[in-house]
Amino acid sequence: MRTILLLISIGFFAERLPAQLLSPTDSLKFWGDAMISTRQESHRDLAAQLFDTLLQQQIKQSSDSVLLNFHPSIVKASSENGPLRIYSWYREKSKGHNQYYACIFHGNRSPILLFSKERNYQRINFEHFNESNWYGALYYKILPDTFNGHYILFGFAQSPDGTKQRIIETLLMEKDLIQFGSPFFMKKDDEGKEETYHRIVLPYSPSAQIALEYDQNLQQIMHDHIAVFTDPKSGEVMKVPDGTFEAYAWKKNQFQHEVNLSNTPLEHAPVEKPLFGPESKQRDILGRPKKPKG
């Protein structure tokens, strides 16, 4: 109750507070934490409105990235020995519906702020996006821009129905252009016809977890193969790893799909630190322990 009253009070009187009590930096951190951590939807919305305004006012250069350390759930990714850094986070707008944010720092150019537009993740395989229509994800790994000048991003997002997605994304950074998605991924459909994808979206069930890794020596992006089956007891349709693996290998300036990893025995399967465990109900969208809401 004390936290709620404080939030409401500051919402009405923040502009009247002396600067030494609530500096712009403190305000950004306060509202950023509040829009993620407060329990009530209307309070999160109010905090988000104020945070968005402050974010656009204060994040003007690369050094301002320090201001984004306002909550432990911020996901940070950097290109190895490169100029690209991405900070991404989310807030719960309403039950099952998330608003994603990202801030891209690239060399000396002005930071790029991204605010997601809610999309069906199963319908974005053939599109490209920019800062005005970004679909929203948490980006946790960046591969260098050695793929025809494109970076490769590994992302995560969650749909309103609880379905999780791992996303293999391309990012092109030019002087006046930012573009997510390029026709780099070649895969055959069920009839053997080859299709070209702008990104790869891997959906899986809320109770499952999958591995997604890059082998630099082989220039392969590897991941669990996701099988679909129906639970005979509950009737629930499940999308879970079946113990086999797939890859996208960089060949002839494209990522070409390989159904089976014949050179990767089961005991050396691609593995990364699990994002979700059996206690996932007590964890956030990336598997971290949830912060108690005030």
Instruction: Write down the domain spans for the chain.
Output: 1-60, 72-282
Residue type, 131: E
Instruction: Look at residues 72, 58, 60, 3 and name the one whose alpha carbon lies nearest to residue 27.
Output: 58
The two tokens of residue 149 are: 């000048």
Q: E-assigned strands of 63-137?
A: 75-78, 84-94, 97-106, 112-115
- State pLDDT tens for residues 91-140: 999 988 999 999 999 988 999 999 999 999 999 999 999 999 999 999 99
Question: To 10 degrees, the CA torsion angle through 257, 208, 294, 93?
Answer: 50
Tell me the Ramachandran region of residue 154: left when phi exceeds 0, alpha when psi lies from -120 to 50, beta otherwise.
beta
Positive or negative: CA dihedral 36, 41, 47, 53: positive
> What per-residue confidence (pLDDT) applies to 160?
94
pLDDT at 263 over 50: no
CA distances from 71 to 36, 139, 180, 283 (A): 8, 16, 26, 15
Rounded mean pLDDT, 6-25: 54
- State pLDDT tens for residues 30-75: 999 999 999 999 999 999 999 999 999 999 999 999 999 999 999 9
Confidence of residue 21 (pLDDT cuts 50, 70, 90): low
CA distances from 231 to 206, 210, 236 (A): 14, 19, 5
Rounded mean pLDDT, 199-206: 96
Q: Distance between CA 200 and CA 126 in Å, rounded?
A: 9
pLDDT at 20 over 70: no
pLDDT at 203 over 70: yes
Are the beta carbons of 153 and 170 closer than 8 angstroms?
yes
> What per-residue confidence (pLDDT) applies to 48?
97
The two tokens of residue 266 are: 């089961």
pTM for the model stands at 0.83
| Cα angle: 35, vertex 73, 201; to 5 degrees | 100
> What per-residue confidence (pLDDT) applies to 7?
46
In three-state secondary structure terms, 251 is strand
Are the beta carbons of 231 and 212 closer than 8 angstroms?
no
